[in-house]
């Protein structure tokens, strides 16, 4: 009987030793949420909650999704920001197809951003909100320059009917524009926006990268430092 017990123990040790370890998920925890806009669109979003008094809304560029902000979102969470990264209407998991949207449809995406703001204000009523957008997302962020500090990556004067000149000219909050010199349209647009409002802070990079592709660790740190 003792022999059988010994054999059983040896077998168990062998099985335990050969069982592969489950790899821990290195992604910081986030919650998937669904927002409903004032014009009844369902917008999917990832919410990273640090329970702090500072929040970010992240807006992707055309044909991309909230996933393009994933790494940045995790860094922001580590720096004690609440973060909402949304799939704009017609993109990713959100309602609609951007390929079927017209230049009259795209400006309505501002309602997607408003829904994200409403959610943050509900969850963290005392939180200071800042908005970061890339390309067409930058143009949407510009619509809130009277309410929130904004960071614009590769904005344009007009992307699919979403314009920026009047918003930036009359901005009451801080505006940071980051653009690559070789990104011709965004660069000329950014110079024009700076001309319209000298208080805009403009950072020009070498190269021709567009939107989130400009984000290096150094640029990300500059953004966080600027946000304060």
Contact predicate 86/116, CB 8 Å: yes
- pLDDT tens digit string along 185-208? 999 999 999 999 999 999 999 999
- pLDDT tens track for 112-136: 999 999 999 999 999 999 999 999 9
Q: How confident is the model at residue 3 (pLDDT cuts 50, 70, 90)?
A: very low
* Residues 109, 89 contacting (CB under 8 angstroms): yes
More confident residue, 15 or 59: 59
Token digits for 12? Answer: 């168990």
pLDDT confidence of residue 29: 79
Mean pLDDT of 134-160: 99
What was the pLDDT predicted at 28?
A: 64
Q: pLDDT tens digit string along 98-113?
A: 999 999 999 999 999 9
CATH for 31-227 is 3.40.50.1820
Instruction: List the alpha helices (DSSP H) in the chain.
Output: 2-18, 70-78, 110-123, 136-142, 165-169, 184-196, 217-227
CB 43 within 8 A of CB 115: yes
Radius of gyration of the chain (CA): 22
- Residue 44: Cβ within 10 Å count: 19
Residue 176 has pLDDT above 60, yes or no: yes
- Mean pLDDT score, 174-193: 99
**Every domain of the chain and the residues it spans:** 31-227
Cα gap 73→48, rounded to integer Å: 7
Q: Left if phi > 0, otherwise alpha if psi is -120 to 50, otherwise beta: which for 183?
A: beta
- Residue 7 to residues 17, 18, 116, 137, Cα–Cα distance (Å): 15, 17, 61, 65
């Amino acid at each position: 009987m003792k022999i059988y017990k010994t054999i059983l123990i040896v077998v168990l040790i062998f099985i335990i030793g050969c069982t592969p370890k489950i790899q821990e998920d290195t992604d910081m925890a986030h919650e998937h949420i669904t927002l409903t806009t004032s014009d009844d669109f369902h917008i999917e979003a990832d919410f990273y909650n640090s329970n702090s008094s500072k929040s970010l809304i992240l807006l992707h560029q055309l044909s991309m999704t909230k996933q393009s902000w994933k790494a940045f979102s995790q860094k922001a969470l580590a720096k004690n920001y609440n973060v909402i990264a949304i799939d704009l209407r017609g993109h990713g998991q959100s309602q609609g197809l951007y390929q079927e949207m017209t230049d009259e449809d795209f400006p309505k995406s501002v309602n997607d951003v408003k829904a994200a703001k409403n959610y943050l204000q509900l969850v963290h009523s005392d939180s200071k909100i800042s908005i970061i957008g890339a390309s067409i997302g930058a143009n949407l962020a510009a619509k809130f320059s009277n309410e929130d500090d904004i960071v614009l990556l590769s904005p344009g004067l007009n992307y699919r009917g979403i314009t920026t000149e009047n918003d930036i000219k009359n901005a009451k909050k801080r505006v940071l524009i980051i653009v690559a010199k070789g990104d011709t349209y965004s660069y000329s647009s950014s110079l024009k926006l700076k001309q319209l409002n000298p208080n805009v802070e403009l950072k020009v990079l070498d190269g021709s990268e567009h939107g989130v592709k400009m984000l290096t660790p150094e640029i990300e740190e500059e953004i966080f430092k600027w946000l304060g």
